């Protein structure tokens, strides 16, 4: 009753409408109720769209409402689907149960993460690369650490990103105030260097044409293109950073999918310890997307211009803004890195690789141009001349399959769809059949239309 009266009050839109974007206007118009005097963070005002993946989820829900009886298949947000091996969950459940005992109870742990787990991460992923456990920061996932790294960098730095790329780098940069406004015409933010990565340059940026920035976000294997940078290319990247006095934030969240011997870590490149931070995750490696566990490496040798170690500042950020990853998740992480755990995880990764292969064969057999999909779980499909949100909507409407429109990853993603190999096998097989039916029909339709227009 009280809330009804509250919402029924006369204040519908209390501030003058923002001039920035239609999206923010639409959102404000829906707001009902009295306003506070708090002025909206100008950086949040700059953000162009909803974050990509929630926007896709919104469209997914809309579609389900419209077609309540269809079997929707998601090859979209890149979430894992396969059960976590029992070997790993039993360690987590033992740990959780022990929390109910006096002997097994644990409260806050070290903010930087459990020492044994840090050592296991250093040994497993960086065996002979001289990464010390003191340089490992265990986190609740790579995405949170990307934002914590932005907190470390502050608003005064300039950044470069691959285009297309995982949206969290640019969005967190906008939120931090590192960018200017969004330009509708170019679909880019001011003050961000977008490094085009497409078939024209084998998905590796032309560094000779890239202006200097303080920070370079680099994701390999890349989400969304599925491309992995070769050793030679990463040498060039490290040299480029050294020459410019820049730092690289290297995201290796998909390293476990690399098959061709390309580097799984930036620290495989000599000199990288002086210029690179590495962010990584248990999410895609061990199906921990819901459990939440990741890590960041800050080498001792990585220094600011005044010689102060960046590691010290990251430690300060972590102790201030994060009290450490869940100890249950960390127990799971440790179980993943046992030899039995690693073996089990490998078989789950192979399952997704097989999915990816089935999808690749289907799409290629349909005559579509498909990139990626060898060293990563993602296929990057080109629809020349089409808008990616239109293709996304067309595929969804006709096949009830969720994909991701490439433009959500930056202007360089226009004309592409990202299709994920994460999924249950029966969904992958069903999706392949639906895609086959749809694209066969679509191709015939286009041939018919073009021959009709040629006849005119
Ligand atoms: C490149 C990349 N980095 C980081 C993440 C987020 O990882 P986490 O689940 O550890 O936050 C993702 C998730 O899709 C990703 O694709």
Q: What is the pLDDT of residues 105-144, one digit of tens each?
A: 999 999 999 999 999 999 999 999 999 999 999 999 999 9
> Residue 453: its pLDDT value, please?
47
User: How far is the CA of 390 from the CAs of 123, 394, 416, in angstroms?
Assistant: 46, 6, 10
Q: How far apart are CA 435 and CA 419, in angstroms?
A: 11
Lowest model confidence (mean pLDDT) among 44-58, 203-217, 395-409? 44-58
Q: Where exactly are the structural domains of the chain?
A: 2-40, 52-82+347-455, 86-340
- pLDDT value at position 51? 65
Q: Rounded to whole angstroms, what are the CA distances from 224 to 193, 228, 251, 375?
A: 18, 11, 13, 12
pLDDT band at 33 (very low <50, low <70, confident <90, very high): confident
Average model confidence (pLDDT) across the chain: 91
Give the range among 52-56, 226-230, 261-265, 354-358 with minimum mean pLDDT: 52-56
| pLDDT tens digits, 354-408 | 999 999 999 999 999 999 999 999 999 999 999 999 999 999 999 999 999 999 9
CATH fold match for the domains 52-82+347-455 and 86-340? no
* Residue in the block written with tokens 């077609």: 67
Q: Residue 93 pLDDT > 50, yes or no?
A: yes
Quickly tell me which residue has 């199906």 as its tokens: 287
Per-residue pLDDT, 23: 42
User: 291 CA distance to ligand 1 centroid (A)?
Assistant: 13
Does the beta carbon of 283 lie inside 6 Å of ligand 1?
A: yes
Domain made up of 86-340: CATH architecture = 3-Layer(aba) Sandwich (3.40)
Q: Which of 395, 392, 420 is nearest to 406 (CA)?
A: 392
Give 140 Cα–ligand 1 centroid separation in angstroms. Answer: 11
What pTM was estimated for this model as a whole? Answer: 0.90
Which token pair is 178?
């590192």
Collapsing DSSP states into helix, strand and coil, what is residue 127?
Answer: coil
**Of the candidates 218, 213, 211, the residue with the CA atom closest to the CA atom of residue 237:** 218
pLDDT tens for 138-197 read 999 999 999 999 999 999 999 999 999 999 999 999 999 999 999 999 999 999 999 999
Q: Is 399 in the pocket of ligand 1 (CB under 6 A)?
A: no
pLDDT of residue 77: 81
Percent of the chain's residues with pLDDT above 70: 89
pLDDT the model gives residue 17: 37
Reply yes or no on whether the pLDDT at 255 is more than 90: yes
Distance CA 141, CA 277 (A): 15
Write the residue with the smallest CA distance to atom 2 of ligand 1.
Answer: 253
Atom of ligand 1 nearest to the CA of 141: 10
Two tokens, residue 376: 């990563």
Helices (H) and strands (E) in the chain — how many of each?
A: 15, 15
Class of domain 52-82+347-455: alpha beta
């Amino acid at each position: 009753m009280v809330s009804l009266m509250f919402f029924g009050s006369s204040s519908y839109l209390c501030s003058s409408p923002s001039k920035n974007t239609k999206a923010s206007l639409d959102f404000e118009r829906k707001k009902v109720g009295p306003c506070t005097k708090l002025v909206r963070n100008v950086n949040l005002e700059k953000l162009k769209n909803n974050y990509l993946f929630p926007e896709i989820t919104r469209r997914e829900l809309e579609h389900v409402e419209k077609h309540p009886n269809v079997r929707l298949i998601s090859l979209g947000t890149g979430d894992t689907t396969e059960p976590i091996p029992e070997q790993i969950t039993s360690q987590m459940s033992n740990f959780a149960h022990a929390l109910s005992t006096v002997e097994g109870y644990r409260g806050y742990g070290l903010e930087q993460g459990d020492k044994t787990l840090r050592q296991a991460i250093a040994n497993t992923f960086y065996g002979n690369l001289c990464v010390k456990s003191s340089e490992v920061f265990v986190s609740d996932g790579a995405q949170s650490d990307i934002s914590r790294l932005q907190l470390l960098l502050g608003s005064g730095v300039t950044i470069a990103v691959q285009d297309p790329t995982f949206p969290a780098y640019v969005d967190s940069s906008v939120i931090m105030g590192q960018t200017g406004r969004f330009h509708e015409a170019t679909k880019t933010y001011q003050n961000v260097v977008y490094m085009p990565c497409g078939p024209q340059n084998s998905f590796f940026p032309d560094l000779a044409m890239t202006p200097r920035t303080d920070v370079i976000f680099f994701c390999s294997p890349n989400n969304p293109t599925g491309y992995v940078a070769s050793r030679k290319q990463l040498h060039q990247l490290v040299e480029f950073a050294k020459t410019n006095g820049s730092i690289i934030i290297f995201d290796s969240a998909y390293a476990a999918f690399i098959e061709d011997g390309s580097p799984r870590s930036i620290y495989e490149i000599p000199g990288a310890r002086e210029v690179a931070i590495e962010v990584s995750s248990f999410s895609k490696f061990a199906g921990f997307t819901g459990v939440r566990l990741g890590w960041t490496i800050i080498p001792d040798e990585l220094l600011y211009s005044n010689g102060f170690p960046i590691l010290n500042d990251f430690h300060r950020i972590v102790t201030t803004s994060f009290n450490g990853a869940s100890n249950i998740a960390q127990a799971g992480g440790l179980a993943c890195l046992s030899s039995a755990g690693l073996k089990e995880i490998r078989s789950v990764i192979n399952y997704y690789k097989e999915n990816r292969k089935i999808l690749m064969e289907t799409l290629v057999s349909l005559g579509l141009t498909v990139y990626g999909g060898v060293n990563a779980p993602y296929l990057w499909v080109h629809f020349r001349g089409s808008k990616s949100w239109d293709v996304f909507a067309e595929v969804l409407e006709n096949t009830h399959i969720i994909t991701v429109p490439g433009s959500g990853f930056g202007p360089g993603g226009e004309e592409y769809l990202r299709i994920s190999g994460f999924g249950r096998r029966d969904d992958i097989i069903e999706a392949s059949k639906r895609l086959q039916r749809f694209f066969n029909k679509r191709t015939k339709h286009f041939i018919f239309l073009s021959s009709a227009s040629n006849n005119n």
